[in-house]
């Protein structure tokens, strides 16, 4: 198996982040916000961008350094479990989901209209899609970011990634963070 240098991976991540930052302003919000509201929404977006870098860097590092064959504990599984722990603690909700239509685990899929529309938007090339939503009077930012096939190693377990169109994401991270 050809090893992709980590530099190349982080290069991809940097490009993705640059695209993410440039597209973050173009987002769908439901109500016209006041300037104070929009500053709060912008802070929530910044939190998502920061979390996205933290999580994706860890997933790539785990895969690069610890996963050697199919029996090793995959970063995707680690992510499912650590995201559940973070969500249970109440900081924010975060899930890793499939975008190919052929997930390893059928549970890891878009589960509501936001996720489904988000996957559609990411497939058109967007690096960030978000929406402000209210639940029991409290405001949240729903946001979704793409996961590209960053390493050839990914296809060791996800053979279907080989048939994904160049530039299309194979998965996504979907967030719900409080707007404060
Ligand atoms: C050693 C095998 C293995 C490797 C290598 C691997 N994965 Fe996974 N991946 C899994 C397993 C198993 C799951 C299901 C985790 C669960 O739900 O417990 C998973 C889940 C996922 C999911 C959630 C959707 C789904 O299919 O269930 C995504 C997205 C994902 N992996 C992306 C990647 C990426 C990107 C890479 C390369 C950086 C990668 N995986 C490398 C085994 C692997």
Whether residue 71 contacts residue 55, with contact meaning beta carbons closer than 8 Å, is answered with no
pLDDT one-digit tens code per residue, 144-179: 999 998 788 999 999 999 999 888 999 999 999 999
Q: What is the pLDDT of residue 15?
A: 36
Ligand 1 atom nearest the C-alpha of 63 is 38
Ligand 1 atom nearest the C-alpha of 100 is 26
* Distance of alpha carbon 82 from the chain centroid: 14
Distance of CA 104 from the midpoint of ligand 1 (Å): 7
Distance of CA 105 from the midpoint of ligand 1 (Å): 8
What is the spatial distance between Cα 14 and Cα 9, in angstroms, rounded to a whole number?
A: 9
Confidence of residue 23 (pLDDT cuts 50, 70, 90): very low
Ligand 1 atom nearest the C-alpha of 150 is 38
């Amino acid at each position: 198996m050809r090893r992709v240098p980590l530099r190349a991976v982080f290069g991809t991540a940097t490009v993705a982040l640059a695209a993410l930052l440039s597209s973050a302003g173009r987002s769908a919000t439901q109500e016209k916000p006041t300037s104070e509201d929009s500053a709060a929404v912008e802070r929530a977006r910044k939190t998502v961008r920061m979390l996205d870098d933290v999580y994706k860097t860890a997933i790539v590092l785990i895969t690069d350094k610890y996963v050697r064959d199919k029996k090793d504990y995959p970063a995707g599984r680690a992510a499912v479990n650590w995201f559940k722990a973070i969500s249970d603690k109440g900081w924010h909700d975060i899930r890793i989901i499939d975008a190919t239509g052929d997930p390893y685990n059928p549970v890891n899929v878009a589960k509501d209209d936001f996720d489904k529309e988000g996957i559609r938007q990411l497939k058109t090339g967007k690096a960030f899609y978000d929406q402000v939503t209210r639940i029991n009077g409290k405001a949240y930012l729903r946001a979704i970011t793409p996961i590209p096939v960053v390493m050839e190693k990914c296809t060791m377990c996800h053979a279907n990634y080989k048939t994904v169109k160049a530039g299309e994401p194979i998965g996504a991270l979907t967030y719900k963070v409080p707007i404060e």
